[in-house]
């Protein structure tokens, strides 16, 4: 997920109020978008970090079942994001 998809909107929202809730939803391919891949756990954590570094405080990750596929994914996720985000 490129920075331009998360960074600028997160910075704009943070400048208004850092406590504005922000959810990062994992894309899951359906119907005519089957050629697109799902995000990896690492990509979702990177997006989370960019949003957090922009100053937002209430960040959630959504559609966990799309990118958390194995125990290793869960371990990586819980080691790298606040539990409130899950």
pLDDT in tens, 14-61: 999 999 999 999 987 777 767 888 899 999 999 999 999 999 999 999
How far apart, in whole angstroms, are the C-alpha atoms of residue 84 and residue 19? Answer: 13
Query: In the prediction, which pLDDT does 2 show?
Result: 56
Q: Which residue has the higher pLDDT, 13 or 2?
A: 13
3-state secondary structure of 9: helix
Q: Which residue has the higher pLDDT, 13 or 28?
A: 13
- Per-residue tokens: 11: 């910075």
- Per-residue tokens: 71: 């125990």
Do residues 58 and 31 make contact, with C-beta atoms less than 8 angstroms apart? Answer: no
């Amino acid at each position: 997920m490129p920075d331009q998809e998360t960074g600028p909107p997160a910075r704009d929202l943070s400048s208004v109020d850092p406590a504005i809730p922000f959810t990062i939803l994992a894309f899951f391919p359906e119907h005519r978008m089957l050629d697109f891949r799902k995000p990896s756990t690492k990509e979702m954590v990177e997006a989370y970090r960019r949003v957090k570094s922009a100053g937002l405080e209430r960040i959630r990750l959504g559609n966990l079942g799309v990118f958390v596929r194995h125990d290793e994914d869960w371990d990586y996720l819980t080691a790298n994001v606040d539990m409130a985000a899950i």
